[in-house]
Chains A and B, each alone.
Chain A
Amino acid sequence: MSKSSCCCSSTHEQTSCKEKNKLERSIIQKSGEIPILSTTLNSQDRVDGWKARWGIGRMNYTIQPGLYGINKPDADSPVLVTANYKLTVDKVRKELMGIDAWILVLDTKGINVWCAAGKSTFGTDELVQRIEDVQLAQVVNHKKLIIPQLGAPGIAAHEVKKQSGFLVKYGPVYAKDIPQYLRDGMKVQPEMRKVHFTLMDRLVLIPMELMPALRWAPVLMLWILIVQLLRDHRLSWGLFVEFVPFLAAILAGSVLFQILLPLLPFRSFVINGWLLGGLTALGLSALFDHSGTLVLVHALLLPPITAFLAVNFTGTTTFTSLSGVQKELAIGVPLMILSILCGMVIQIVSIF
């Protein structure tokens, strides 16, 4: 990872990198010097955002935890709590143009609020400790903290109050609603409470589905290679032609599924994925004019691949539950294995 990206993995490097890019200046407070964050993203920030989405050096995008200022904060300015994932901080600060505020960055190991709250690294203990570390009570003369609503799974508001004296106000789900929320005197409109999962939300997630999915390509390639060797006793470029249906199954499970999600007829991701993979297999058979056995082999091999990739999307969706996923997998995984084994056996047997 380039050091110039202002995101370094180790805590020691962070300070020096951070200063290079984001900090315009700092202000002196009783509790010490507090850095000020800019509310505009520069080209480097945008490159970082793009790289993070494509999974390039993702784990390195961290920001030094602690207290930061936005514009010209004073003792009355609101305190917004967030995670130390750089993209998260970027999302928050870019919404705060013209707003004086404090940002309390918790150490979530470079993970966004929602995921970190699930693991409780964005949690009560870290918050209470961080409030003390930065001597927040010295900096502001109020006792309110604004926590993104999606941080709630990690934070017990009543515990924070008990342990630190600060009152947790759950703010809007999305950073873009923060200015409105502040203008309304910290009132959240009902619409701001709801998590949505729009086409755009899903589109930006596709790279992160596609890149890991493509890691299965060599495994599938190997299988085609074995089949080809057994069948033709030599290798040919036909390898890549035979790979096309598998690539299609991968794309169906990591791109098409994500786009079509709200339109798919079933609740279960495995069933929807299987359906999509089945349609892909069928379509390809028609397109390539495949013969009997190959149609059957593809019908057995492709849908489980798509279904498997599809069910992995549960990790990113905003409405799937652990119990549901466990139920799907308990039934789905054995079926996938069975289907793939059958497909493999039939394909091998058909050669001899």
Chain B
Amino acid sequence: MAMRYLKNVTTLQLDSDKCTGCGVCLTVCPHEVFKMQAKKAVIQDKNKCMECGACAKNCAFDALTVRAGVGCATAVLVGLVKRTEPQCGCQTESSCC
């Protein structure tokens, strides 16, 4: 049961030149967006990226960029009304720990 979201919207970018193949991004990504190929990380499934920002935050070599944020309509709408960045004001109890 793979639930999928909109195609071709993610802001995720990988700069192969900077990638050292440390593999941290494979560890932290919750959606298996990356795989290892010839000792470098490559994006195998870009459309699965939810822009959580974990990979970019944990890449010590600045090889990854993504505009991180919560994909939350309420946050986006509140942000629009208040004219700020999307702000997650909700206290969601998602299934994670």
Contacts and interface: CB of A to CB of B under 8 A. Distances in A.
B42 to A, nearest CB: 18
Interface residues of A, number: 67
A319 interface: yes
Interface residues of B, number: 48
A173 B54 CA distance: 13
Nearest to B7: A267
A315 B77 contact: no
A312 B9 CA distance: 18
12 contacts: A59-B91, A115-B94, A118-B53, A152-B54, A153-B53, A173-B96, A194-B32, A195-B30, A267-B6, A317-B71, A323-B51, A324-B6
B1 A262 contact: yes
Contacts of A195: 30-31, 96
Contacts of A328: 6, 73
Contact of B71 (A150, A157, A322): A322
A110 B7 CA distance: 34
Interface stretch (A65-73, A197-205, A241-249, A276-284): A197-205
Nearest to A311: B73
A319 B28 contact: no
B60 A318 contact: no
Interface of B, helix, strand, loop or mixed by DSSP: loop
B93 A112 contact: yes
Contact of B88 (A82, A119, A313, A333): A119
Contacts of A315: 70-75, 88, 90, 92
A152 B27 CA distance: 10
Nearest to A49: B93
A52 interface: yes
A176 B23 CA distance: 25
Nearest to B57: A156
A54 to B, nearest CB: 11
Given A152-B58, A155-B57, A328-B73, A113 B6 contact: no
Contacts of A173: 30, 96-97
A198 B58 CA distance: 28
Contact of A208 (B57, B75, B92): B92
Interface in A142-172: 148-150, 152-158, 170
Interface in A23-76: 52-53, 58-59
8 nearest A-B pairs in the assembled complex, by CB-CB distance: A315-B72, A322-B69, A320-B71, A152-B54, A175-B97, A152-B28, A158-B60, A324-B6
A3 interface: no
A91 B52 contact: no
